[in-house]
Amino acid sequence: MSEELHSVRLVVNGMSHDLRVPARRLLSDALRHDVGLTGTHVGCEHGVCGACTILVDGRPTRACLMFAVSAVDTEITTVEGLTNPDGSLGPVQQAFAECHGLQCGFCTPGFLTTITAGLRENPQPTHEEARDMIAGNLCRCTGYQNIVRSVERAAELARDGSGETPPGPPEQHPGQLEHEDRSHDAATTGLGG
């Protein structure tokens, strides 16, 4: 027996997508498989890791805990929707690139959306508030130091209103490796490509 399909219209990154999905289709799966936006990563599938975090009506939401049929009449923003209107990196994305806030990149889309919402709520976080802002997302390879620096840098960029990198190389932090240009493999991290 085939599963009943439901017609849903999802508004993702300002574009409408008409889908037919089973009632039990997770929003994370609908975004990845039906809409074709693979920046929303699926990690634990229990809402713990934060890799699938998207914005629903501007609020961070675990896409693996929400059904696609529940997302009708909402505005969804995925990592792909965080760029500036001209296609350049948004301030949070730019800060991650400057501060080396990623290594493998799997958790990065969830961090980018979480921080974007966090900075809207608290545009000038203290160091402790920056740490708290990312506390609900897990990263297995960075040690979080550069992610916290990225939050602080993103707040600076947003305050400046430029969203652009200041001239000169990014600051080198103790123990940090020299920057390696890997822009060719960054497509699914939300940092370009």
The DSSP annotation for 136-191 comes to: TS--SSS-SHHHHHHHHHHHHHHHHT--SPPSSPPPPPTTPPPP---GGG-GGGTS
Q: For residue 120, what pLDDT is reported?
A: 96
Class of domain 5-81: alpha beta
| Of the candidates 83, 78, 87, 2, the residue with the CA atom closest to the CA atom of residue 34 | 78
Q: pTM for the whole thing? A: 0.82
Read off the pLDDT band of 46 (50, 70, 90).
very high
Q: What is the pLDDT of residues 123-156, one digit of tens each?
A: 999 999 999 999 999 999 888 999 999 999 999 9
Q: For residue 160, what pLDDT is reported?
A: 85
- Strands 53-56 and 15-22, bridge-based pairing: unpaired
**Is a pLDDT exceeding 50 seen at residue 193?**
no
Greatest CA span in the chain, whole angstroms? 62
Q: What is the pLDDT of residues 179-192, one digit of tens each?
A: 444 444 444 455 55
Q: Domain ranges in the chain?
A: 5-81, 91-177
- Tokens 């240009």 belong to residue: 181
Is the CATH code 1.10.150.120 the one for domain 91-177? yes
